[in-house]
């Protein structure tokens, strides 16, 4: 699945060699929903987003791995069928040679455009581009989580009664020991690639804070050449989030933080969606076999592996009745 900017990128030919006293640096086309902004390629053939603001001011450029930004500077642009011209624009360029990262850049730029709107101030552009830069910095760091686990968490968001509430609760600073934390709910997602319902837990995960409902979602996640890709699953969630670009950006930021430098290879990976859906089971964390007593106070970071094959699943109706946020975050079925 390709985004509209991704499709635009594929239709723009490689720029010719720059010539003359005022070489054309950007070969672009206006963005249909916001024609004052442009998307295209630099003279080096790299993807670029050019943003118009209704004001301008001096701002130091950004030069980092895979991304460069120049704020409110004269840009020589070429648009098919129009005379070349120079405009004051903020130029955001993806400098990575990796085609998958370039496509992801185009995809995330769509969210940036939705955040800033058609006629933004330079301040709004600076704030939005700062998030884009931070996201690309995350893509240069080591991966934090296995792709199967991330797919499981994304599928839980997709299947939840309120994907918006699920994204808000995802990797929340309220309680980072759990995948999802919101109000009186602590939700952990465990994915198995072996079709064995045995997962690794920490002692803290099996003893959630007093006054909260601790819930586990367990599912099987296996690679499948004809399955659903990680990026396609993200795009489904983005469609569910609709007119909430800040939540879409949080989704993209959290995925970038999880994948790090492995993103180029991970985003197109495909998994068996039907198996993941049909294998999904919900448990109370209090029912998970665990070591809960007799731990000396001097001992910390206790972890263990628990087999859930004999543990009865929880009732979705009962959990939803006990906990307000369970009604929003648990699968809507």
Q: Residue 8 — pLDDT band, cuts 50, 70, 90? A: confident
Q: Which two tokens stand for residue 280?
A: 């999904």
pLDDT, averaged across the chain:
91
Who contacts 128 (Cβ-Cβ below 8 Å, separation ≥6)?
112, 115, 116, 120
Residues 159-194: tens digit of each pLDDT: 999 999 999 999 876 568 899 999 889 999 999 999
Q: Residue 1 — pLDDT band, cuts 50, 70, 90? A: very low
CA angle at 235 for the pair 229 and 238, rounded to the nearest 5°: 150
- What sections of 207-323 are H helices per DSSP? 230-241, 245-259, 263-266, 273-279, 316-322
Residues 116-175: tens digit of each pLDDT: 999 999 999 999 999 999 999 999 899 988 999 999 999 999 999 999 999 999 987 656
What are the extents of the domains in the chain? Answer: 4-138, 147-329
Report the C-alpha gap between 325 and 10 in whole angstroms: 42
H helix and E strand count, the chain: 12, 14
In DSSP terms, which residues pair with 78 in a beta bridge?
27
What confidence score (pLDDT) does residue 24 get? 66
More confident residue, 318 or 232: 232
| CB 151, CB 191: distance < 8 Å | yes
What confidence score (pLDDT) does residue 252 get? 96
pTM of the model: 0.89
């Amino acid at each position: 699945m390709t985004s509209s900017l991704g499709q635009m990128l594929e239709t723009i030919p490689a720029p010719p060699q720059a010539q003359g006293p005022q070489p054309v640096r950007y070969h672009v086309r206006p963005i249909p929903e916001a024609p004052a902004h442009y998307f295209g390629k630099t003279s080096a053939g790299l993807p670029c987003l050019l943003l118009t603001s209704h004001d301008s001011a001096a701002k130091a450029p950004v030069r980092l791995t895979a991304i460069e930004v120049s704020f409110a500077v004269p840009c020589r642009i070429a648009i098919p069928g129009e005379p070349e011209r120079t405009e004051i624009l903020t130029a955001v360029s993806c400098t990575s040679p990796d085609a998958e990262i370039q496509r992801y850049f185009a995809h995330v730029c769509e969210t940036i455009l939705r955040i800033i709107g058609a006629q933004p101030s330079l301040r709004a552009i600076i704030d939005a581009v700062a998030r884009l830069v931070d996201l690309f910095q995350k893509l240069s760091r080591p991966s934090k989580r296995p792709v199967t686990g991330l797919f499981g968490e994304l599928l839980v968001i997709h299947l939840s009664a309120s994907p918006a509430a699920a994204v808000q609760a995802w990797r929340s600073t309220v309680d980072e020991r759990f995948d999802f934390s919101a109000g009186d709910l602590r939700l952990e997602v465990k994915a198995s690639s072996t079709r064995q319902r045995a997962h690794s837990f920490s002692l803290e995960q099996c003893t959630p804070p007093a006054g909260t409902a601790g819930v586990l979602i367990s599912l099987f996640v296996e690679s499948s050449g004809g399955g659903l890709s990680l990026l396609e699953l993200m795009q489904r969630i983005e469609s569910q989030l609709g007119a909430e670009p800040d939540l879409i950006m949080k989704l993209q930021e959290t995925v970038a933080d999880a994948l790090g430098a492995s993103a180029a290879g991970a985003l197109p990976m495909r998994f068996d969606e039907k198996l993941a859906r049909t294998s999904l089971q919900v448990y109370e964390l209090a029912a998970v076999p665990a070591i809960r007593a007799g731990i000396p106070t001097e001992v910390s970071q206790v972890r263990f592996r628990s087999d859930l094959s004999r543990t009865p699943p929880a009732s979705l109706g009962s959990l939803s009745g006990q906990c307000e946020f369970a009604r929003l975050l648990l699968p809507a079925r």
